[in-house]
Amino acid sequence: MTLGFGEPIQLTSLEEVTSDQDPSVGQGWEVSEETRSQIREIEASIRSSEERTGSFLVG
Amino acid sequence: MRNDLFIFARLNSQADWDKLESLIAPDNYKCALRSIFASAKELNTISAIVEREYIDQDFSSDFAAFYSKVFRRYRKICMRVHFFSESVELFTKNSSAEGLATVLQEVEDRGGYVGFMVIRPLKHARFGRVVLKAPPSPHQMQADLLVRAVYRVHLLGAELRVEGSPYTQQDTRIGACAQAAIWSAARHFYTKHDGAWVSMAEVAEAASKPADRVLSLSLPAGSKFLSQDNMIRALKEIGREPLLFSGQFDQATSKIRWPAPLQPSRIISQYVDSGIPVILGLVFPRRQIGHAVLAVGQTTTTLSSPVALSKQPSRAEFLHSFLVNDDQLGVQLRMPLKPGTPFSQTAYDVESNLLYLIVPLPKKVYMPAEVAEAMAWNLIEKYHNEWEGFKKNNKHKPSFDDKIGDEFSNEIVSGSVVSRTYLTWGWKYRQRIMNNKVPDAVKSAIIDHALPKFVWVTEFGTFDSFNKTKIDDCEIYAHMVADATSSDYPEARLIFHAPGLLHRWYHDPTDDHKEYVQARAVVLDDRKYRPKVRGII
């Protein structure tokens, strides 16, 4: 598409293959089940913080 | 006209410091004062100027909120003390006014201004604002004041600047240590990031709305202690998004246990390394009320190899202590990770006393550092799994350096890869990459990659490449960039670089609703590069 003015700035000089061109790009690079479980555990540990120290006062 | 409004003092001997002490704190509350003096001495202070009458905006606000309303009479005029690491030989009888201003400015230009402290006219809480330069590093260690901003003060016609982290003392009328810690964080956000200016009285007010049961346990309400809820309300009020992490105190053993995925030192380090101050809630055996301090930096050390690293180790492995501002003890003090650590400056430590921490994140950050880092480690694993095949397919290309990839892959296998995660602005990450040593082809792919306002960057080096006293001397092999404004973590990955490979995720230009397009490239002539260094682009 031309805008009718100016010239596009050519920035990328790296030869990339995209998942549009080759559907195998990115296959196997999904977030693994082990990492998902690790993340769920982190989130659960943060969530339960309130139970552990919710009534603790500092002064 | 009085001629003793400004006092110049040489601080060459302990007797000189004692005289200054008796001028500004002629009472019994000297613990913090002596600690502040010790810090000033470590910064080679040899002279001071005392402004005997100084109207302080913070104390004026506290005065209006409380002290002006009680029967006992209080003054609102403060004092301010400025420290210098040069003998400011300008207060001779023949000095001209212009000469004074010029000499002071020249001292500042040479870096001779160490900082200042405001002295309130209160016997029970002398210290208002205190800002000192970053502390010197102890022997063979590196002290990094990571939460810092430039504070400008005006004295006798000169503008003096000091880069530091603000400290104040609780007054137990308007606020306790919790309010002091929040005030220090808020003042940093105001100075560094154009956040809201709030006084201690305003912090106390914000912490108490809506009122709750805890506030009614002390008079004036909330002046002796605060709950986590109160602190979080105050942090929200100043425009932050607080994130809470807690351990559990076991009364029987007096020990604190943290859930396995949460490693407190690692967590604090990640946020402080992002320039975010972290409020630390401390517990002490047999004491009903805990204490709050503010982490503003860290001290790292080198380790003698080989050392047993934890699983997915981070740069926290090299930590010696955190620099904390403790309203009762002083400014930028080394709080160690474990008891009995040499060069410690606090009687408490992370392992024995840290019960919880609150991270006042900027608004729009919806993903914690821990999640971003877990995803980054996952990519390292994938890279390693594919490396041999990737190498085989690309080895024939001129300038494809398989040695650096082999080297990094071997470090992954041996468990010696070390991560470092921090939050930064998208634009700043891009600027750092443009000024780094990565190949031009990588820069060309990143220069126009659309980035959100905030990103998590996880850098990967090795035990050896990170085992240096100064971060300036460290090198990294790989990094991942994640969208910190994403709450859906699988969609947060944006850029991953490791030796020989660049993988990117970005919006599909034909349809925003589609899955991210992924793009993969072989990076020729790849090399190690610099990690982020504060203050250096």
Check A42 against B368: CB less than 8 A apart: yes
Answer yes or no: do B11 and B46 share one domain: yes
Check B503 against A29: CB less than 8 A apart: yes
Check B247 against A26: CB less than 8 A apart: no
Nearest CB among B176, B290, B379 relative to A56 is that of: B290
Answer yes or no: do B84 and B11 share one domain: yes
Answer yes or no: do B185 and B128 share one domain: yes
Render the burial of B384-417: b for 16+ CB within 10 Å, e for the rest.
bebbeebbeebeeeeebebebbeebbebbeeebb
Q: Mind giving me the DSSP string for B246-308? A: E-EEETTTTEEE--TT--HHHHHHHHHTTT--EEEEE--TT-SSBEEEEEEEEEEE--PSS--
Look at residue B248 in the predicted model and tell me its pLDDT: 93
B503 touches chain A (CB under 8 A): yes
The minimum CA-CA distance between B444 and chain A, rounded to whole Å, is: 5
Beta bridge partners of B1: none
CA distance linking residue B392 with residue B379, whole number of Å? 20
Give the helix/strand (H/E) hosting B78: strand B78-84
The minimum CA-CA distance between A8 and chain B, rounded to whole Å, is: 12
- Output phi, psi for B159, to 5 deg: -105, 120
Look at residue B29 in the predicted model and tell me its pLDDT: 62
Nearest CB among A28, A30, A38 relative to B374 is that of: A38
Q: Tell whether the model's pLDDT for residue B26 goes beyond 80.
A: no
Looking at chain A, which residue has its C-alpha nearest residue B327? Answer: A59
Residue B184 to residues B357, B362, B496, Cα–Cα distance (Å): 15, 16, 36
For B207, the token pair is 């912490």
B245 touches chain A (CB under 8 A): yes
Residue B399 lies in a domain: yes
Asked if B143 contacts B158 with a C-beta cutoff of 8 angstroms, the reply is: no
Answer yes or no: do B13 and B29 share one domain: yes
Residue B410 lies in a domain: yes
- Output phi, psi for B2, to 5 deg: -70, 145
Answer yes or no: do B334 and B436 share one domain: no
* Structural domain span for residue B296: 6-362
* Span B332-370, pLDDT tens digits: 999 999 999 999 999 999 999 999 999 999 999 999 999
Q: Of B429, B527, B522, B516, which is closest to residue B475 (Cα–Cα)?
A: B527
Render the burial of B291-307: b for 16+ CB within 10 Å, e for the rest.
bbbbbbbbbbbeeeeee
CA distance linking residue B536 with residue B457, whole number of Å? 16
Q: Point out the domain boundary residue: B295, B329, B362.
A: B362
> Could you give the ipTM of this predicted complex?
0.90
For B446, the token pair is 């990143």
Q: Point out the domain boundary residue: B362, B393, B428.
A: B362
Nearest CB among B246, B378, B504 relative to A35 is that of: B378
Q: Tell whether the model's pLDDT for residue B93 goes beyond 60.
A: no
Look at residue B252 in the predicted model and tell me its pLDDT: 87
Total domains present in chain B: 2
- Which chain B residues touch A20 with a CB distance below 8 Å? 508, 517
Residue B325 lies in a domain: yes
For B245, the token pair is 């992490």
Q: Point out the domain boundary residue: B306, B338, B362.
A: B362
Burial (CB < 10 A; 0-12, 13-18, 19+), residue B227, is: buried
Nearest CB among B289, B378, B386 relative to A32 is that of: B378
Give the helix/strand (H/E) hosting B17: helix B14-24
Answer yes or no: do B374 and B358 share one domain: no
Nearest CB among B289, B356, B493 relative to A53 is that of: B356
Answer yes or no: do B354 and B383 share one domain: no
Cis peptide, bond prior to residue B242, ω within 30 of zero: no
CA distance linking residue B241 with residue B361, whole number of Å? 5
Averaged pLDDT score across all residues of chain B: 92
Looking at chain B, which residue has its C-alpha nearest residue A54? Answer: B228
* Span B374-424, pLDDT tens digits: 999 999 999 999 999 999 999 999 889 999 999 999 999 999 999 999 999
Look at residue B239 in the predicted model and tell me its pLDDT: 94
Answer yes or no: do B12 and B118 share one domain: yes
Across the range A5-18, mean pLDDT stands at 84
| B537 pLDDT tier (thresholds 50, 70, 90) | low
Residue B528 lies in a domain: no
Answer yes or no: do B31 and B98 share one domain: yes
For B59, the token pair is 């104390």
Answer yes or no: do B504 and B448 share one domain: yes
Looking at chain A, which residue has its C-alpha nearest residue B173? Answer: A59
- Which chain A residues touch B224 with a CB distance below 8 Å? 59
Looking at chain A, which residue has its C-alpha nearest residue B263? Answer: A42
Answer yes or no: do B239 and B374 share one domain: no
Residue B531 lies in a domain: no
Residue B537 lies in a domain: no
Residue B1 lies in a domain: no
Looking at chain B, which residue has its C-alpha nearest residue A40? Answer: B371
Looking at chain A, which residue has its C-alpha nearest residue B229? Answer: A54
Across the range B123-133, mean pLDDT stands at 92
Q: Which residue has the tokens 């420290």?
A: B83
Asked if A16 contacts B250 with a C-beta cutoff of 8 angstroms, the reply is: no
Check A58 against B289: CB less than 8 A apart: yes
Check A57 against B243: CB less than 8 A apart: no
Look at residue B174 in the predicted model and tell me its pLDDT: 81
Answer yes or no: do B266 and B345 share one domain: yes
Output the domain CATH number for residue B274.
Answer: 3.90.70.10
Q: Of B476, B477, B487, B502, which is closest to residue B454 (Cα–Cα)?
A: B487
Q: Of B252, B311, B333, which is closest to residue B286 (Cα–Cα)?
A: B252
